Amino acid sequence: MFIFVLHLQKEQYSGPFYEYSQSAVPDSVDWREKGIVTAVKDQGRCGSCWTFGTAETIESYYALKYGVQKIMDLSEQQILDCTPNPNDCGGTGGCGGGTAQLAMDRIIAMGGITTEWTYPYISYYGEAEKCKFASNITSNPFAELVSWTHLPTNNQDAVISALATMGPLIINVDANGWAHYETGIYDGCNQTYPDINHVVELVGYAPDYWIIRNSWNTGWGEMGYIRVRKTPVASCGTDLNPQDGDICNNGPKTVQVCGACGVVYDSTYPVLK
């Protein structure tokens, strides 16, 4: 298992913000039960969590839109190789880190994302490759995006509403204490000074926990998943190293982060064509 520090930076969001209502939502949601979540993957030694969280969530929304029989593993390698990062958003790009927002904007610009089978993941050991989208992507996109939606920052009600009504979410979390997690409801994050440094897919919730899909293979946690403590009201802390999270160069020196492990801090989901 590998945690790679992401020097994420907030850019001007190109996607719309999520508008939620206060209408009743279920007590629990688990999108795995709907058949729209693919098998757990393994990013290996590459700091590519941002590509995995993005590709996995697009897979889920493709299945929601076109049917579970159409679900397909999509190419993290395409995102990794073909997403420029001139402003060091989320790191230095490739295995050095990036953001889901950068990834989705680039997928839109490229005309879509292809399948894992067409453009396989080969950066397990930590080296990105040259972009091959000219031959592999523009001629054969599988899923196409028109935009993506950003949830209000640190708003637990919005996260619950979006999970219940829209689908899984791409989220940024503090995973510093996750390496030794095996099972149960995890409550070991530093809530006073969280350090956002990892991108994952949020696939559900129950009254007292969140269900999160990681990209460290099925030998980690609960078959690749972790349940993180959820409370009726999300407590908040201060991230003293926000460039480990989702802040741009010359951004604020500290940010407020809410929810255990920062679960409700920064959330997005794709909008498919």
Active site residues: 49, 198, 214
Q: Which residues does 228 contact at the CB level (< 8 Å), separation at least 6? A: 173, 185, 186, 187, 189, 209, 210, 212, 260, 261, 263
Comparing CA positions, the residue from 55, 47, 102 lying closest to residue 78 is 55
90 Rama class: left (phi>0) / alpha (psi -120 to 50) / beta: left
Contact 42, 51 (CB under 8 A): no
Written as six digits, the tokens of 36 are: 């729209």
Q: Report DSSP state, residue 148.
A: E
Contact 77, 180 (CB under 8 A): no
